[in-house]
Structure formats: C-alpha cells, structure tokens
Structure 1
C-alpha cells in the first residue's frame, strides 16, 4: 500500500495510552475533567485535500457560553493536534477561548504522504479555508480571532498574516517560532545546495540527516518517553522536498520580518537548540507591529508548553493567557514590551 494511503489508515487507530496516562480512559472524560468540550471531524479544502480537525470549547451545562475569542492553532513539523499539543488547547478552552486546529497536510490524520510538505503556500491555503469556515459561523460573529503557532507553526502563522488583510487577526502567539532554521541544525554548506538539486528528481526521499528533535526539545526525561509514544508523530528522517521548502519559506520570512504588523507575543527558551531565540529577537526588533511583546525564558528548551517541568509550563501558560486576555477587548494605545 502506498505510504500516503497507509498514513491515513494508521491515523484511524487509537493509541494504547493517552498522553495524560491511562485515566481518564477516554478523551471525552479527559475534556470533562478540565471543564472543556471537544470534537473532531474532517474538513475538505477547496483543492480536495482532507484535513483532520479538532475544536476545544469551554464546557456548557445548558446554552453554549459565548467564547471570549477564537484561537486558531498550528502545530510544528512532524507533530499533530491529537497528542500533547492538545494540552495547551484544553488550557485555553477552560480559560474561555474557543480553539481550533487542523493537522497539516502530510501530518497526523490529514491527507498526504507523511511529513511531506512540498508547498507551504498550498498548506496555508488549506488552513485558511478551514479557519475562515469556522469564522463564518453565526455563533462566532464579532469575536476577535488570534493565531497561535508552535515552531514551524509559528512561521506558518506569520506567513498567514503576510498573505491576508491586516484586520483579519487580532494578534498572534508565537511559541519558539521557526522564523529561520537554526544554524545548529541547518545542514552545513554545500549540503543545502546538493539537497535542492536532488529534490528536483526525488522530493519524497527521507534521507536528510538531522538531530533527535525530542532529545533536543524536551527537558524532562519522563516527558521524552511520552512524546516518543505519540502514534501519529513522524520519527523518520526529513524528506528532501520538505527540507528544501522549509528553507525557502524561512528564508522568505527572514527577509520580510519588517513587514510584520500584527500584534504578537513571542515566547522562546534561551537554551532552545531547534529554533534560534536570537531570530525571535530579530523579529521583535524588525517588526512594524505597534503592539509586540517578547519573553525569553532562561534555560528553557524548545518544547515550552510540554517538555519543561510543570512549574515552567505554568509560567509560560500564564504569560500567554494574560496577553490574550488583555487583547480580547480592544483598547486604545500601543504596547511595546520586552521581558527576559
């Protein structure tokens, strides 16, 4: 069976153990325990690709409560929305936000060859179609809409902003965004040039050498085991076409940081070896946004919202929630803050 077909079939199987452990036994019970309601479905993008989607909302015992805002979330490379990524969405939902996310093409349960992203713009178009279909719902009329992205998802959020009208988004939360491939994991010269050439003929080959991202991202050893058990995670070598496209997209983004005008919060660990906190500082310095905040957390790694000790995660979550809360109701004036 071709890999792209097997990918979706594998996605239908439930994991043996949930990321939170054996109890609660079901997602519905886990959501209920946290005061959240969740649902999943497939969305067919205009080009015909099927995206697996999830929604997390504050739990209601009667009439659905009106969310404070909508948060559209984008996961990182090789990851998906059905494992540890959910923990942040559940936290935001129990805090009054309606959260929506889709597995990127080639990731999780969405259509496509595993971890093959040959065209970021096509993936962005699919995500936008889903996000806008959610925004058009009657119950969401007038609600502010925020983007939220982790790692590669942070870069995609910025590219979405650069490709859409500025008034479309109330702000963006960027968690260790991949605004540029870190020199610490970027293939050394002349390998990128060689990879680009070979990718023209064999873009799906999974042969690009890379470091163990779980080892570099997740600080707590027990949480590394949980991340590694994700049945939807792609653990193979990156595909040539994906690497070439990520290099192209991040090079574009790096050259356009001064065009960023959306209000944003960027959070990054100072010890991150996957994405470079110095590039997040460059984003903060270059962006034309009048409302921009950067927080660099001393000693934290790439996985700020799962892989750190719980007290560190609570600190980052609290900063994200405070930033969102302040921007749910429009206020006059601008904000420029930087904190370490």
Structure 2
C-alpha cells in the first residue's frame, strides 16, 4: 500500500473555538465563537460578524468557514446580550445599542491582544446584518481608524422600511406612541415571515431554538430609532471603506435609505449592490440565486480590499 499523504494546512477546515467573556459591567457573560486558520500565525485578516435582532452568531457559521479557509481569516462573533447562548434578561432587549457596541469592541480588542497584533498589522473587517449593520456603523463611527479593512453590510438598519401604507402607519404610531409607553411593554411580534421570501426558510427560522421567538419591546425599538437618527447624521462624515448589499423587497430595513447613505458617505471605497426581489435576509434567498450572488459580490470586494491592504 502506498503512503498516505497528509493534507496541507491550506486544505484543512478552520479550527473552531467557543468561549465566554465577562462584560465590562462585570454582571453578565456573552457567548463568543472563533473560526481560525490552522496556523493562526499566518492569519491574513480578522473578520468580526455582527448578527441582527433575534438572531445568534451561528446563523453565519457557513460564511465564517468560507472566509476562514479562503482568506486565512480569524473570524469571530458573539451572541449579543439577551440573544442565543449569551446571558441577559429580558431576551432580545437593550435600552441602548451602545451596550452591544461596547461588547463588540471589547471582544475584538481581546482577540487582538491575544494575537499581540494591531488592526494595522492584521486588517479588521466587520460584517453586519440588520441591527448588526447599525451596530457596525456605530462602532466604525467611534473607532474609524481601527476598521482598517472595512465594513460589509447586508440589509443594515439605516432606516425602517415603509414599503406599504400599513407599514408606514405602523411606523409612525410606534415612533410617537412608543416614546411614552413603558420600555418593557411588548411593541410587536418578531415575524420571520417578514425576513425571507421563501416559506421553507421562515419555517426553519421558527424551528431554531437559539433564535428569539416572542415580542419586540418598546425599549429596544426606541434604542433602534435613536441609532437610526445617529446614523443619518453621520453619513457625510463616514469615511471607512464599505460594501452594502440590500434587497428591493426588504420589509424591515429601507433600501432607499441605504442608497442615500452610500451617496452621502465620504468613503473613497464604497460599493452598493441592490438585489432585485431580495428580502431582508439575503443569505436565505436560495431559489432566486441571490444568496450565491451576494456571496460572490462579497468575495470580490473582500479580495480587492485584502489586495489594497497588502494582506
């Protein structure tokens, strides 16, 4: 029998690790995940994945593995407070997105300290979806020079969608009445049928025990309205490289607002991709081919940015 040939490190799947971090308030822990190249010393970039409201970071396991293996990337993520495996009550709640921003910043800094590297030495990219897109933008506003690679956003919360009259009325009622109602009071149910165009995908979302299944409270709705105002105000000062992908049929976040943000942004490197008929969660648009289109577009943008940063 011939000698068995061992696979090269480039052919091996990424090394996965999960752990908990104690947050700065000393009162709660967040669940964290990493996907690492087999030789972490040869990592070429770091990518942080920031999930949306009601999600958890393992939703993005498939793309994390692709990036870790193809780009020798240290990919990291965590479940936000009150989401997935992280601590926090009530679930899927905060009265300020700054809490999530602070946790993300802490997680990223902790990872770089362990590597004994800086974002200048190991370019940092942030991928964010929906509320995670808003968190990513707010993080970039506070630490623009740390995001040395750039932002990759999918259906980010820049403005709520008012795609029909009923949604427009609901939006204005929530914004006005919600400002005086108790923070813990339920505002509206989180409907996964609004997130995707394929019923099979909505059914999968509803079966996922780590997703949030319940009502969104007024406190976090107010927090997201505040974030929207801050993002709107910062657009013309935003100069971090950015890729933004948005579906025209997004019922939760407004694609027109994404176009306006990109037009106003001061970034020298900015790309907007609009996916016709795409719903909110573009990675779950299988039948239309949008999922594959987005993966390809992200890959091309990431490849160009890696080349530009010399990594």
- Scaled to the shorter chain, the TM-score interval is 0.7 to 0.9
Give the alignment partner of residue 66 of structure 2, picking from 53, 72, 91: 91
Q: How far has the Cα of 1:68 moved from its partner?
A: 2.2
In structure 2, the residue matched to 1:109 is: 85
Q: How far has the Cα of 1:183 moved from its partner?
A: 2.4
Measured in 2, the distance between the counterparts of 1:153 and 1:272 equals: 16
* Range moving further from structure 2, 303-312 or 257-266: 303-312
Q: How far has the Cα of 1:251 moved from its partner?
A: 1.6
In structure 2, the residue matched to 1:154 is: 133
In structure 1, the residue matched to 2:3 is: none
Q: What RMSD in Å do the two structures reach over aligned CA positions?
A: 2.1
In structure 2, the residue matched to 1:279 is: 257
In structure 1, the residue matched to 2:19 is: 41
In structure 2, the residue matched to 1:198 is: 181
Q: How far has the Cα of 1:38 moved from its partner?
A: 1.3
Matched, 1:122 2:106: no
SS at match of 2:125: strand
Assess, with a 3 A threshold, how the Cα gap between structure 1 residues 296 and 168 changes in structure 2: closer, same or farther: closer
Measured in 2, the distance between the counterparts of 1:211 and 1:39 equals: 30
Q: Gaps (5+ residues) in structure 1? A: 1-32, 333-340
In structure 1, the residue matched to 2:55 is: 79
Q: How far has the Cα of 1:165 moved from its partner?
A: 3.9
Q: How far has the Cα of 1:140 moved from its partner?
A: 4.7
Measured in 1, the distance between the counterparts of 2:299 and 2:210 equals: 28
CA deviation digits over 1:253-277, x for unaligned, max 9?
1222112110000011112111111
Q: How far has the Cα of 1:308 moved from its partner?
A: 3.1
* Range moving further from structure 2, 136-145 or 124-133: 136-145
Assess, with a 3 A threshold, how the Cα gap between structure 1 residues 191 and 272 changes in structure 2: closer, same or farther: closer
Instruction: Give the alignment's TM-score, normalised by structure 2.
Output: 0.87
Q: How far has the Cα of 1:65 moved from its partner?
A: 6.1
Query: When the two structures are aligned, how many residues end up with a matched partner?
Result: 291
SS at match of 1:328: helix
SS at match of 2:63: helix
Give the alignment partner of residue 172 of structure 2, picking from 189, 208, 218: 189
* Range moving further from structure 2, 176-185 or 157-166: 176-185
Q: How far has the Cα of 1:244 moved from its partner?
A: 0.9
Alpha carbons 1:258, 1:287 under 8 Å: kept:
yes
Assess, with a 3 A threshold, how the Cα gap between structure 1 residues 164 and 93 changes in structure 2: closer, same or farther: same
SS at match of 1:309: coil
Pairwise mapping of residues 240-279 of structure 1 onto structure 2 (< 5 A)? Answer: 240-279=218-257
